[in-house]
A and B are shown apart, each in its own frame.
Chain A
């Protein structure tokens, strides 16, 4: 049994934590939060690229580091802990993973080295309005290789160079790579619950679209892309949830009320014990997801769903209860609790809400039980 990070992976994770403590303190996160013109921290992005993290899981032949997915999970956990204000998830968990899993040789050769070098930011453009995107509701379409339609919201869409777009082609859904720097693309930045991450409306009017993977398989491909992303996002959520519990603990141990530290009151102790329990359930499920992702196991759909559900639940709970433990201070702009509260919403919504993943999980279990 070897169901944990290896010593090397732990070392990488420790180094990542030190690096982010130095390069991504809360002041950097707040730099993006408080500046409406900034959708991410460009300095941190460059530094992260120099560390090789953007290409951590990209094979060496495409100028990546050629590490495994578990190493990427370790990095994700630390990025989540630091609420890093960079389009890492959209670029690495979504675009790079999608191209590696489904791209043609030509697509890989063009896109992956640019991602590894920090020259290409990606995003996923599926949503077209409130609610879940369904085949019958999908409006965006590709005709003669040209995309038209509106995608809203698109996480990191205002920073991105390339979008992975869900659209119909000849009445059948497909996934398409679209160069956002070319003509036929209008980008508008939107306000969101988490201003430390960019969100945009992308309007396409004859933009050149290059299909990724098989024609007509848009929704199946999107789900496969989300399965991979979900595991990595779960590690970001886990890192955030752990930090919320730490912050709550530190605050409660230093805050006095009624003549003693509030950390000694059972209502506080039990609340923090509840956080711990949820975080450990999330960690164990995330590890299983990491294993499934790393070896491309057939269990990936259920493992990813379980990881995503547990991590979404843990981060939401830890982020809201951390505000509660901090009391009035927790409700101020100046205390960092809301950075995590906001990010927990961003990470839960970005790749399908937990409700959706629960339905997916049970559907998978039904299939398994019927087989």
Chain B
């Protein structure tokens, strides 16, 4: 029971750290530290990814033959830790390399793999995942985007929603309905598509938080070749499960303020009976947040331990997002309430900690929904971890076209 690297891990960490020190300095000298969402930031991100790929630090667990590092899962975790410490890192590639390209690798023909995998590893092309729809969120298989066969092509019409990065992505994997006459899971097919096709239109979604980080994507008579199909016609759900298996790993933990920031805030605030930090109810909450944060940190260490021992990690990592998303919401709200009437202010120049708590308060509801809602995640724990029965499905044996629909 300790936190020490094995000798091999320590050696790898040392090597990675040494590389990162030099690489990060060279990278910063060339690109500076551009603001997120700017074209310069994207260019810097692509350059960093290329630099990692050249040194074998991109897609560490993938074979060297496709541009990966030919390493182990624990090496990948170690590099991730060191990369975070080095303060370089770009989120553009997480979904593509974590979910989409593995799907391409599993289901595409050799020519397609040859064409796409290596450029994606090097950061030259970015991929997005087009699954969720207005009528299919938690119930993704209820999606309605339709693909109709036309000679050797498929013609696609419909709409996707909550697509991360659709506006800057080059390619996407798209799940569509090819047969509405069979039950919903059986009539789906997966394709890869070119996001630059004029028949694909991205529109940013105006979120309740005020930001526009996600997109709706519309397809109007989009033509794709049958060779762009991933997996057999009607096998789309099976293909999607391969993609989604990686989702919770890709979505990962939550950034944002934690108990340390709230403590710092409360130290300087006055409560009804002296400093807010001395308020008993507040201190109880603080203790709970600390315990949960530590719980998640050490749960990650348990997962790492399994990887380090060459074992498959247990299901314990499934608790992460349920806790972190709910805690962020509670913590942000408590911090805002502690500010009294002043808590309503959102101007970073006025609100404490540059309005981080107000921003988190408005972001947290999305976090509780993205990548599996609290409710779906609890179902997953109940069914896959505890082995409890699935929910009753009234739509299992009904042709998709005969299913009742509402809002």
Contact = CB atoms under 8 A, between A and B. Distances in A.
Interface of A: 1-6, 9, 70, 245, 249, 252-253, 260-261, 263-264, 266, 268-270, 272-274, 276-277, 280-285, 287-288, 290-291, 294-295, 305-306, 309-310, 313, 355, 357-359, 361-362, 365-366, 369
Top 9 nearest A-B pairs (CB, nearest first) are: A281-B295, A269-B382, A358-B287, A284-B298, A264-B389, A273-B378, A273-B381, A3-B301, A1-B304
A5 B386 contact: no
B302 A3 contact: yes
A5 B1 contact: yes
A309 B6 CA distance: 31
B270 interface: no
Contacts, number: 156
B288 interface: yes
B185 to A, nearest CB: 19
B305 A2 contact: yes
Contact of B301 (A1, A253, A277): A1
B287 A362 contact: yes
A2 B9 CA distance: 11
9 contacts: A1-B9, A245-B386, A261-B389, A281-B319, A310-B291, A310-B295, A358-B288, A366-B263, A366-B277
Given A1-B308, A361-B287, A273 B263 contact: no
A142 to B, nearest CB: 34
A306 B290 contact: yes
Nearest to B259: A365
Q: How large is the interface on B (under 10, 10 to 19, 20 to 34, 35 or more residues)?
A: 35 or more
B298 A287 contact: yes
A361 B375 CA distance: 31
Contacts of B287: 305, 309, 357-359, 361-362
Contacts of A4: 1, 302, 305-306
Contact of A365 (B74, B263, B284): B263
Given A3-B3, A264-B389, A270-B378, 9 more contacts: A3-B305, A245-B386, A253-B389, A260-B392, A263-B389, A273-B385, A273-B386, A280-B299, A287-B1
B401 interface: no
Given A3-B302, A4-B305, A369-B260, A276 B1 contact: no
Contacts of B382: 269-270, 272-273
Contacts of A9: 1
B4 A2 contact: yes
Contacts of A359: 280, 283, 287
B198 to A, nearest CB: 44
Interface of B: 1-6, 9, 74, 259-260, 263-264, 277, 280, 283-284, 286-288, 290-292, 294-299, 301-302, 304-306, 308-309, 316, 319, 322-323, 375, 377-379, 381-383, 385-392
Contact of B2 (A2, A269, A309): A2
Most chain A CB atoms below 10 A, which of B302, B308, B390: B302
B294 A288 contact: yes
Contacts of B387: 249
Contacts of B290: 306, 361-362, 365
Nearest to B301: A3
B379 A269 contact: yes
Nearest to B308: A1
Contacts of A266: 375, 379, 391
A264 B1 contact: no
A261 B296 CA distance: 32
Contacts of A70: 1
A335 B147 CA distance: 57
Contact of B305 (A1, A306, A365): A1
A195 B319 CA distance: 35
Nearest to B391: A266
Nearest to A5: B1
Nearest to A309: B291
B1 A358 contact: no
Contact of B295 (A280, A290, A355, A365): A280
A82 B112 CA distance: 58
Given A284-B295, A287-B302, A310-B295, A269 B378 contact: yes
B388 A264 contact: yes
Nearest to B287: A358
Contacts of B260: 369
B304 A269 contact: no
Contacts of B323: 277, 281
Contact of A285 (B277, B295, B390): B295
Nearest to A294: B1
Given A3-B304, A362-B286, A272 B298 contact: no
Contacts of B306: 4
Nearest to A68: B1
Nearest to B322: A277
B302 A306 contact: no
